[in-house]
């Protein structure tokens, strides 16, 4: 009796197709969203139909064009001071993206250096640097931002300092684990045997091999930084008015949420889209770059 079982590859292909399409969409859609936001941040002054601080009290609280009473002159409506909501959302992208880029550059640089040194050197150096990291992880960044805002006053650089002051610690913790693993690898041992200095080993051999997890963490951090900045601006410890921060715009529209919902809705939707795009892209990169999770 022939017990040979034949594998229906066409059936397997049909089953895998929806999963593959979903996997591709989780990359394409976030990239498109982030690309549009970056374009708005770079060319905001050219794309915005009005200056973000142009006040027109005769046109205050105009609804968006999609509503029954809306008009084409203000596509997303106006706020309580007659300022164009679309223009302020576009300018807000510039603030959010610039803060995210600066904070990520500072925190990723400091965290990577600390993590590599701690993981490779080990011993007392590792213990000392990790205790500092643990202390930094124990303090919420929002609390530090409120303290800095009370001391220095709310502002653009206050937000950057507050988010960078403790934001390097998660990078240091992650990179330290990768450096510990790589320090036991054969190619690192061979580099030591031929007389390579610790700095050369860390730069030439360890750092290139921690790029993948670093990229994943940076991508996931974009949404969190923008969300934290929005929260700080909402509570008054971030970007002060009249600068069009998305969080400040949500707070400005809070008293009018019953009658003029668009003032808070559109900047809130922008925050949600960017945060979800960053998280989805980070998850996609993790599945793609991590060999333990790579989909075949």
Query: Residue 62: which residues within 8 A CB-CB, separation 6 or more?
Result: 69, 70, 71, 73, 74, 77, 78, 82
Domains, the chain:
33-45+74-289 (1.10.3720.10)
DSSP single-letter state for residue 259: T
According to the model, what pLDDT value does residue 292 have?
Answer: 56
DSSP single-letter state for residue 59: G
pLDDT in tens, the chain (296 residues): 454 454 554 544 455 455 555 557 777 888 888 899 889 888 888 888 888 888 888 888 888 886 666 667 788 888 888 888 999 999 989 888 899 999 999 999 999 999 999 988 888 888 999 999 988 888 887 787 788 877 888 888 888 888 888 889 999 999 998 898 888 888 888 888 888 888 888 888 888 888 888 888 888 888 888 888 888 888 878 888 778 888 888 888 888 888 888 888 999 999 999 988 888 888 888 777 765 555 44
> How far apart, in whole angstroms, are the C-alpha atoms of residue 107 and residue 102?
9
**Backbone dihedral region of 239: left (phi > 0), alpha (psi from -120 to 50 degrees) or beta?**
beta
Residue with the two structure tokens 């022939």 = 2
Closest to 130 (Cα-Cα) out of 169, 164, 162: 169
> How far apart, in whole angstroms, are the C-alpha atoms of residue 184 and residue 201?
12
According to the model, what pLDDT value does residue 20 have?
Answer: 58
Q: Give Cα 287 to chain centroid, integer Å.
A: 18
According to the model, what pLDDT value does residue 16 have?
Answer: 47
According to the model, what pLDDT value does residue 114 have?
Answer: 92
Tokens of 91: 């300018």
Query: Residue 40: which residues within 8 A CB-CB, separation 6 or more?
Result: 47, 90, 93, 94
φ/ψ of 153, rounded to 5, equals: 95, 145
- The full length of the chain comes to 296
> How far apart, in whole angstroms, are the C-alpha atoms of residue 55 and residue 50?
10
Measure the CA angle with vertex 74, ends 71 and 77; round to 5°: 90
């Amino acid at each position: 009796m022939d017990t040979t079982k034949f594998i229906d590859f066409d059936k397997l292909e049909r089953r895998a197709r929806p999963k593959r399409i979903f996997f591709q969409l989780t990359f394409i859609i976030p990239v498109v969203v982030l690309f549009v936001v970056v374009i708005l941040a770079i060319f905001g002054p050219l794309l915005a139909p009005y200056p973000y601080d142009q006040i027109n009290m005769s046109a205050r609280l105009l609804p968006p064009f999609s509503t029954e009473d809306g008009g084409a002159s203000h596509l997303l409506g106006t706020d309580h001071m007659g300022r164009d909501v679309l223009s302020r959302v576009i300018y807000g992208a510039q603030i959010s993206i610039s803060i995210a880029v600066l904070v990520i550059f500072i925190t990723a640089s400091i965290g990577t250096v600390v993590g590599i040194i701690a993981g490779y050197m080990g011993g007392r150096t590792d213990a000392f640097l990790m205790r500092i990291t643990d202390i930094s992880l124990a303090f919420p960044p929002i609390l530090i931002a409120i303290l800095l805002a009370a001391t220095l006053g709310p502002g653009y650089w206050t937000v950057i300092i507050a988010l960078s002051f403790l934001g390097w610690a998660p990078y240091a913790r992650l990179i330290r684990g990768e450096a510990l693993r790589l320090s036991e690898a054969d190619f690192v041992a061979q580099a030591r045997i031929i007389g390579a200095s610790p700095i050369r080993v860390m730069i030439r051999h360890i750092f290139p091999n921690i790029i993948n997890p670093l990229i994943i963490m940076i991508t996931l951090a974009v949404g969190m930084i923008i969300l934290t900045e929005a929260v700080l601006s909402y509570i008054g410890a971030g970007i002060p008015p009249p600068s069009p921060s998305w969080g400040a715009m949500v707070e400005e529209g809070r008293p009018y949420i019953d009658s003029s919902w668009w003032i808070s809705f559109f900047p809130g939707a922008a925050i949600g889209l960017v945060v979800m795009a960053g998280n989805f892209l980070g998850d996609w990169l993790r599945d793609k770059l991590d060999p333990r999770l790579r989909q075949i």
